[in-house]
């Protein structure tokens, strides 16, 4: 019997605002679509957090023996600067500024995206389609929407008629926004004169002469609207209706709202049964922003080369840190949080690594079967990784008690405990087993801390020549010491 027959998942559905029992459209099969990155810059940590949430969902569904088709797109055209219908294409702008081809930009940052996700031990999706690879499908959807009376063409551009759609359906059903409120809060903007209504959104934009990325269509040489690509790719690979659509909370409106409208206008049916949204990532209690310096790139976590952290961290430590918050909760990224997670991560790894050395007894003082079901209960409750991690630590505590002789376990329970804790830790949470003793970053930190203490002693003894020598020679090998009132920390480059 497949595991999904014994475990009932409940998913928080953004559409209903409630947790619902998960029942796929086709028994034993799951179709899942997640909005991927726009590849015009290095992937940022907020993106990583979102994709990590759905990597865990993907892993767990596969563990339950579902046959999962996971589609995560690459946006390589059509995403304008202000997420609306005006401005310059983000990729084309980057290409213009650097005097390179747009596809060079796409290639560079797609490779970066994959490299970062590999560092975090992500599973690849089943299909990773691109927007530019599905222009024909997008044009065909636009034709259908026009034929069904929900879109109009003006001067070579095609717009979705929100008011016409809302007369028979409900625009705002996902974000719980009312069209009347949107109308009241919309200002007239320059460049929107072609639209019947300011709320209408572009399905196809006629390209200005200077616009680099363009394709022929029945209406003009131009490019598709940003929202359209996901409708085209999700329906092509998952069907007119599929099980799960995921993405960041910031995509709920207008992007996902427009996806629903496009699909309804094309096929006259709701496209998705379960909408899932991961919450935002902040840093030190504030919004992450390059403009304010409150910002960190994933690679800087691994190198320690960022003023907001005091050392380098393993990718699995950073992954463990992020999974200690539920995907629907805001996560505050802090150095103290990483330090605490590092200790917890190695405590869990140390416990797992001594399982094979535990002494076998004739009785068990721990109910392994009940504990195992608690692991499943945590994941079944809207993929609650924080509760799962707490449950794994219950086992880690017991393992240490067996080692100390204050608890006992039978051979059969030991085998079940080992299989279960490794499955949930490595296969489902996606962590990588690294012992503290074998961690290069831990050894580096220890060595540098010794040198920092020696430097502090030299300064107290007014031996400034030695103090400066330690600082300068560390700098030569890429380790910068940072002095402050709180003490001395270091970063690596």
Summarize the annotated binding site for ATP as residue ranges.
290
Nearest CA to 471 among 482, 486, 460?
A: 482
Q: CA dihedral defined by 233, 237, 241, 242, rounded to 10 degrees?
A: -110
Residue 47: CB partners within 8 Å, gap ≥ 6? 37, 248
Q: Cα separations (Å) of 461 from 21, 359, 457, 466?
A: 68, 52, 6, 10
Report how far residue 215's alpha carbon sits from residue 20's, in angstroms, rounded to the nearest whole number: 42
Report how far residue 226's alpha carbon sits from residue 251's, in angstroms, rounded to the nearest whole number: 12
Nearest CA to 318 among 281, 286, 276, 278?
A: 281
Report how far residue 7's alpha carbon sits from residue 355's, in angstroms, rounded to the nearest whole number: 27
Q: How many Å is the maximal CA-CA distance in the chain?
A: 84
Could you tell me which residues are annotated as the binding site?
35, 230, 255, 259, 290
Place of tokens 């008690």: 401
Q: Determine if residue 414 is left, alpha or beta; phi over 0 gives left, psi from -120 to 50 gives alpha, anything else beta.
A: alpha
Place of tokens 């690596």: 492
Q: Determine if residue 132 is left, alpha or beta; phi over 0 gives left, psi from -120 to 50 gives alpha, anything else beta.
A: alpha
Place of tokens 């759905």: 54
Q: CA dihedral defined by 317, 319, 321, 326, rounded to 10 degrees?
A: -160
Report how far residue 256's alpha carbon sits from residue 23's, in angstroms, rounded to the nearest whole number: 22
Is the Cα torsion angle 318, 439, 423, 25 positive or negative in sign? positive
**Alpha helices (H) along 381-434:** 385-404, 411-422
Q: Is 392 helix (H, G, I), strand (E, B) or coil?
A: helix
Could you tell me which residues are annotated as the binding site for Zn(2+)?
35, 230, 255, 259
45-63 vs 102-119: helix crossing angle, rounded to 10: 60
Tokens describing residue 196: 């019947």
């Amino acid at each position: 019997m497949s595991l999904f027959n014994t475990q009932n998942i409940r998913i928080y559905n953004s559409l209903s605002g409630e947790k619902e029992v998960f029942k796929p459209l086709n028994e034993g099969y799951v179709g899942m679509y997640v909005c991927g990155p726009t590849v015009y810059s290095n992937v940022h940590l907020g993106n990583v957090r979102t994709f990590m949430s759905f990597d865990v969902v993907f892993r767990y569904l596969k563990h339950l023996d579902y046959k999962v088709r996971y589609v995560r797109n690459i946006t390589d055209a059509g995403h304008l600067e202000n997420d609306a219908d005006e401005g310059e294409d983000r990729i084309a702008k980057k290409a213009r500024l650097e005097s390179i081809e747009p596809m060079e930009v796409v290639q560079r940052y797609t490779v970066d995206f994959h490299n970062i996700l590999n560092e975090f031990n992500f599973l690849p999706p089943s299909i990773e389609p691109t927007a530019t690879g599905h222009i024909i499908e997008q044009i065909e959807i636009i034709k259908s929407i026009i034929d069904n009376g929900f879109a109009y063409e003006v001067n070579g551009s095609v717009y979705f008629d929100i008011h016409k759609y809302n007369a028979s359906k409900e625009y705002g059903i996902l974000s719980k926004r009312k069209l009347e409120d949107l109308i009241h809060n919309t200002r007239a903007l320059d460049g929107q004169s072609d639209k019947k209504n300011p709320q209408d959104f572009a399905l196809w934009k006629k390209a200005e002469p200077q616009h680099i990325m363009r394709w022929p269509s029945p209406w003009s040489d131009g490019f598709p609207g940003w929202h359209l690509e996901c409708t085209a790719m999700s329906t092509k690979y998952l069907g007119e209706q599929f099980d799960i659509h995921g993405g960041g909370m910031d995509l709920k409106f207008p992007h996902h709202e427009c996806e629903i409208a496009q699909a309804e206008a094309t096929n006259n049916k709701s496209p998705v049964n379960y909408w899932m949204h991961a919450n935002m990532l902040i840093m030190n209690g504030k919004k992450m922003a390059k403009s304010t310096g409150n910002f960190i790139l994933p690679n800087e976590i691994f190198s320690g080369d960022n003023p907001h952290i005091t050392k380098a961290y393993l990718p699995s430590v950073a992954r463990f840190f992020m999974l200690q918050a539920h995907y629907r909760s805001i996560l505050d990224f802090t150095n103290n949080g990483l330090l605490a997670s590092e200790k917890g991560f190695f405590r869990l790894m140390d416990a797992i690594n001594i399982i094979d050395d535990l002494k076998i007894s004739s009785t068990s003082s721990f109910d392994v079967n009940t504990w195992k079901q608690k692991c499943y209960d945590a994941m079944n409750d809207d993929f609650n990784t924080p509760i799962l991690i707490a449950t794994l630590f219950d086992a880690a505590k017991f393992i240490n008690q067996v080692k100390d002789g204050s608890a006992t376990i039978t051979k059969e329970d030991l085998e079940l405990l080992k299989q279960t804790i490794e499955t949930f830790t490595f296969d489902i949470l996606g962590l990588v087993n690294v012992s503290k003793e074998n961690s290069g970053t831990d050894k580096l930190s220890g060595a540098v801390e010794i040198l920092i203490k020696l430097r502090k002693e030299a300064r107290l003894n007014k031996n400034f020549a030695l103090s400066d020598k330690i600082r300068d020679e560390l700098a030569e090998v890429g380790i910068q010491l940072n002095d402050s009132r709180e003490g001395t920390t270091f970063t690596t480059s």
